[in-house]
Amino acid sequence: MTAGKDSVCVLDIEVRFAETDLMGVVHHASYIVWLEAGRVAWMSQAGLPYVQIFSAGYNFAVTDIHCRYRTAIHFGDPVQVITRLVGLRSRQVEFGYEVVNSATGVVCAAGSSRHICVDRVGAMTRIPDWVVTGLTGND
């Protein structure tokens, strides 16, 4: 995959019972976990595993997360989390997401997350050049 704004990562998930409420409907908090899984998968697919960033002493702290719920997803449904890089600044990265019911093709939720780069002690810092290169696919 070539990284950058045009690259997409599709993560397949089958809804687990633990992700649902008493009615078998996916609990709203599960979507946020799926967005994070989509972001981590996007970075791995781009050749930039998040564990590599973490091991180098950096993290992307969440500064904003948004999810718009459109229609319910149920226990056992196959879903895809579609993730894209939508913004990159010197200290900030933003991802966009769609959660699609794979069986119906219906977009059930859409969201975004913004992250600020921090060092080991949690101080805001510039995104290292090698990470920017990995995110953008520009050598």
| C-alpha gyration radius of the chain | 16
Closest-CA residue to 38 (of 6, 8, 4): 8
Active site residue 21: yes
Element (H, E) at 40: helix 28-45
Q: Point out the catalytic residue in the list 12, 21, 64, 119.
A: 21
Element (H, E) at 23: none
In the DSSP assignment, the letter for residue 128 is P
Catalytic residue numbers, as ranges: 21
